[in-house]
Amino acid sequence: MKLTKTAGKGNKLDFELQGQDWYANTIRRLILNEVPTMAVELVEIAANDSILYDEMVAHRLGLIPLTTDLKGYNLPTAEEMESGEFLAQSSCQLSLEAKGPCIVYAKDLKSKDPKVKPVYPDMPIAKLLEGQELKVIVTAVLGQGKDHTKWSPGHAHFKKVEDGKYAFSLESWGQLKPNDIMESAIEQYNKQLKEFESLL
């Protein structure tokens, strides 16, 4: 397999992959399903006077991409996921307090870790009128797209251009840089191969 970068700026990366089509599709699936990112998993609402139901507020919070520090966090164990009690190694807490009249934005989320924060600060969450209040505590957890698409780091696709050559495009949602996504995807692939080898 051979990779040749053809273009790339900001959250986009284009490259040419020379090899088998199954390998190109494997890379695509690894990017979408295996590369870990941070995303909101738990939402505690202490006050919500907005027009939105609690469930809608939680849903909107879950849609906010968060910058991800892959070196500082580990994937939670099965026990953590089942209990909903996450350790500091796999989660980060953010809080939000706002009083109207105002529009509540993603940038109003205050993180305990400066490396975990909204990618797009001006994403609106809710509008508060005079006297209305929104107060929440959220827990962001490291996870993978195979468990929920909110953890997927971006969009990836490819097309055949010549015999054995594929034009591959990757667009990051912003949690990770495209190069970091590719490195993590290859790392996850090598890990899976080692696990498979150990089972033989």
Nearest to 18 by CA among 37, 39, 4: 4
Provide the β-strand partners of residue 111. 94
Domains annotated for the chain, with CATH where assigned, are 2-35+153-199 (3.30.1360.10), 38-149 (2.170.120.12)
pLDDT in tens, the chain (200 residues): 677 778 888 899 999 988 777 888 999 999 999 999 999 999 999 999 999 999 999 999 999 999 999 999 999 999 999 998 999 999 999 999 999 999 999 999 999 999 999 999 999 999 999 999 999 999 999 999 999 999 999 999 999 888 888 999 999 999 999 999 999 999 999 998 888 888 88
Q: Cβ distance 19 to 165 under 8 Å? A: no
- The C-alpha angle 163, 26, 17, rounded to 5 degrees, equals 35
Alpha helix (H) ranges present in 34-152?
A: 54-62, 78-83
- Region at 51 (left for phi over 0; alpha for psi -120 to 50; beta for the rest): alpha
